[in-house]
Amino acid sequence: GPARAVAPPATAAGAGRARGAGRGPALSVAAATSVATPRVMARTAGALWSSAGAIGFVGVGDAAAFSGRSTILVMAALALAAGVVIGLRAHTWPRGSFHVIAAGGAVVITAGTALAASAPIGGAIAGLYLFVVLDAFLFFPWRTAAAHLAATAALHALVAAATGQSVVLALLMQVTFAAAGALVGWLVRAAAEATVDPVTGLMNRAGLDRVLAEHLRGSEAPSSAVVLLDLDGFRGLNEGAGVEAGDHLLRTVAQRTARAAGPSATVARSGSDEFAVLLPGLDEDAAVRVADALRAALPTSASAGVAVPVRGDSPASLVHRAKGATYEALERGGARTVVAAEADGGGARLRAALRAGELAVHFQPVVLPGDGTVVSAEALVRWFDPVRGTVPPDCFVPVAERDGSVVELGRWVLVRAVQQLADWRGRAGLPQSVAVNVSHRELCDPAWAGATLALLRAAGLPPQALVVEVTETTLGRDEDSVRANLVAVRDAGVEVSVDDFGTGWSSLSRLEELPVTQLKVDRSFVARLGDGVTATPVLEAIVQLARGLGLTVVAEGVETAEQARAVADLGCTLAQGWHFGRPVPAAHLGAPPTA
Ligand code: C2E
Ligand code: CA
Ligand code: CA
């Protein structure tokens, strides 16, 4: 609701000061500093009113009876109460009310001073003008604050003259107040510099984090959304047309985004060419529409990611999700809006599915291409969701990889694969080894190799009976723990296969150093065989390469008899594909060959 609307003034903080930054409607808000969020302004103004009331109450209550004394006491009590109301509610009032609150304070103090019978008491009450001046310099732009100061000084001089006090002393007091106000105002602005982006005048990432932290405070996730905009190809412009042109574009984007996002939104420049928009009170669908409108308002193509806060979100986690969606938009060609995956990446759902028994492991035979003899089987996970139906692994494995639940998934598949193999071993016509897909995330756990070898031992299986399939990309990253894990299992005798070989990283020279024993040629290369094509240069080269390095070659995705013959003739060690058998439950592999 509007009560949670956050800090349009912070959005505009410094906008007037920024070089060339225009003053679009969304940027011209009557507040100067980034501490001037409605909540902070309400609390501070309320505290000043209350303490002014309390000081008046105690101070005058102490004095001997004089004619206006009871009136001042009533006014002081009312000011105290007003302070409480202002502190609790003023952030929900229109922004202009903060001017009324400050000016009202000056009027009340003037009345108190006028009512005071003696010059000392009047002078003491006039000291409370300091609160008005501080409030103005804390929260309003310099010029507005100066106007408040001038009005306060005029009231002070008038009341001093009217009650026979020294006007000179009154003005001297005001000069002191002005100095204090200017100092406080300057300190606040200096502190705020750290949260303002000098190029666009918008908040920077630090400012955004503070606003988000305030926004996300509380046990329930607020109904709101964050849109992250990333300018497509900004780096190119910056390098091509120069930094000046880049800055100009950023300022234009800042202005148009702030204008299009509307007054209740908070806009920040959260990265070099990345803008964040907090949209209070909007749900995901509405935020997507706003994101599309924002993109349309920009002079350049942009990718947008939308994320909605969930319970327990931090500013970092929320922005991280939105950023992930932006990357996805970028990867899909940019100029589009993508909604972030569920907060937990669907990992909770997958873990629940594991517990609920909705997952199964199917096995696809790996054969000798010449005669189709089953040698091995690849374990492939299957998810039968009662609501969504069969979910293909390509849909949930990458997600599980991102949020880490793939570690549990991989372990679960490995345990089942090993159990199944123990059952098959020594029985004719059945796989005598099993291949398991292992994701990068699993190999980051330094304990992975030990746990895997222990599992084989416990099942009474030799390490040679396991094939670990790792993608080229995983190998290409070459992290220490990944390498150590693979070296450990390979040294123990486990086969290590490069899955989807030929599609990813391809530093052939490094193949020699890597702990691999097998190349699993990607099925896209096999798909080129057939219709009279019996060999391709790439396949021939891969087989030659493997031979030279002493690696076995598996041809994947063999769908026809013609392809089967071709890969056999090419010299592939093993083959796999629909022609030989689809992935099926283990029991379906049970039938011994009839030949
Ligand atoms: P992959 O490791 O390349 O697995 C081979 C994929 O090709 C399987 O898809 C399989 O069903 C399919 N396939 C087999 N023969 C043929 C064929 O002749 N023609 C065609 N067009 N496709 C064929 P699936 O089961 O959908 O798995 C997709 C990917 O999901 C796998 O690719 C693997 O990367 C991942 N995956 C599956 N199970 C696991 C698992 O337990 N752990 C991990 N980390 N990843 C898994
Ligand atoms: Ca595989
Ligand atoms: Ca593959």
- Which pair of tokens denotes residue 424? 């098959």
Whether the predicted pLDDT of 29 surpasses 50: no
pLDDT recorded at residue 7: 31
**Is 389 strand, coil or helix?**
strand
Whether the predicted pLDDT of 14 surpasses 60: no
What average pLDDT does range 89-102 have in this prediction?
Answer: 88
Amino acid at 243: V
pLDDT recorded at residue 13: 34
Catalytic residue among 214, 274, 556, 562: 556
Q: Which ligand is nearest to the CA of 500?
A: 3
Whether the predicted pLDDT of 531 surpasses 50: yes
Residue nearest atom 19 in ligand 1 by C-alpha distance: 557
Whether the predicted pLDDT of 70 surpasses 60: yes
Interval between CA 536 and ligand 3 midpoint (Å): 19
Ligand 1 within 6 A of 11 CB? Answer: no
pLDDT recorded at residue 312: 73
Q: Look at 74-88, 273-287, 581-595 and tell me which has the smallest mean pLDDT.
A: 581-595
Q: Counting atoms of ligand 1 from 1, which one is nearest the CA of 500?
A: 3
Amino acid at 528: R
pLDDT recorded at residue 503: 81
Give 296's pLDDT tier (boundaries 50, 70, 90): very high
Closest CA to 553 of 562, 563, 565, 543: 543
User: Could you confirm whether 513 is annotated as catalytic?
Assistant: no
What average pLDDT does range 491-518 have in this prediction?
Answer: 86
Within 65-166, residue ranges assigned H as helices are: 69-89, 97-115, 119-126, 129-139, 142-162
What average pLDDT does range 315-322 have in this prediction?
Answer: 88
Interval between CA 464 and ligand 1 midpoint (Å): 22
Interval between CA 554 and ligand 3 midpoint (Å): 10
| Residue-wise pLDDT tens digits, 150-206 | 999 999 999 999 888 888 998 999 999 999 999 988 888 877 777 889 899 899 998
What integer best gives the mean pLDDT of the chain? 86
Q: Counting atoms of ligand 1 from 1, which one is nearest the CA of 410?
A: 42
CA distances from residue 254 to 141, 202, 242, 261, 384 in whole angstroms, order as listed: 21, 7, 18, 10, 47
pLDDT recorded at residue 88: 92
Whether the predicted pLDDT of 26 surpasses 80: no
Whether the predicted pLDDT of 465 surpasses 90: yes
pLDDT recorded at residue 342: 67
Share of the chain above pLDDT 90, in %: 53
409 neighbors 397 (Cβ within 8 angstroms): yes
Amino acid at 290: V
**Is 116 strand, coil or helix?**
coil
306 neighbors 290 (Cβ within 8 angstroms): no
pLDDT recorded at residue 506: 61
Ligand 1 within 6 A of 347 CB? Answer: no
Ligand 1 within 6 A of 270 CB? Answer: no
More confident residue, 57 or 215: 215
Ligand 1 within 6 A of 390 CB? Answer: no
| Residue-wise pLDDT tens digits, 368-398 | 999 999 999 999 999 998 777 888 898 888 8
Q: Look at 168-177, 179-188, 338-347, 544-553 and tell me which has the smallest mean pLDDT.
A: 338-347
Q: Which residue of 362, 363, 367, 380 sits with most ligand 1 atoms within 8 Å of its CB, as the best mutation to test the pocket?
A: 380
Q: Look at 87-96, 273-282, 423-432 and tell me which has the smallest mean pLDDT.
A: 87-96
pLDDT recorded at residue 18: 33
Which residues, at least 6 apart from 435, have a Cβ–Cβ distance to it below 8 Å?
A: 366, 376, 377, 378, 379, 466, 467, 468, 469, 495, 497
264 neighbors 8 (Cβ within 8 angstroms): yes
Whether the predicted pLDDT of 19 surpasses 80: no
What average pLDDT does range 326-334 have in this prediction?
Answer: 85
Give 591's pLDDT tier (boundaries 50, 70, 90): low
Residue nearest atom 27 in ligand 1 by C-alpha distance: 393
Whether the predicted pLDDT of 432 surpasses 90: yes
pLDDT recorded at residue 391: 84
pLDDT recorded at residue 16: 33
Q: Which ligand is nearest to the CA of 520?
A: 3
What average pLDDT does range 249-268 have in this prediction?
Answer: 93
Query: Burial of 333 by CB count in 10 Å (0-12 exposed, 13-18 middle, 19+ buried)?
Result: exposed
Interval between CA 380 and ligand 1 midpoint (Å): 6
pLDDT recorded at residue 425: 93
Give 496's pLDDT tier (boundaries 50, 70, 90): very high
Interval between CA 539 and ligand 2 midpoint (Å): 18
Q: Counting atoms of ligand 1 from 1, which one is nearest the CA of 576?
A: 15
pLDDT recorded at residue 191: 76
Whether the predicted pLDDT of 592 surpasses 70: no
Ligand 1 within 6 A of 353 CB? Answer: no
Closest CA to 18 of 182, 229, 251, 208: 251
Q: Look at 16-30, 540-554, 572-586 and tell me which has the smallest mean pLDDT.
A: 16-30
Give 9's pLDDT tier (boundaries 50, 70, 90): very low
Share of the chain above pLDDT 70, in %: 91
Give 32's pLDDT tier (boundaries 50, 70, 90): low
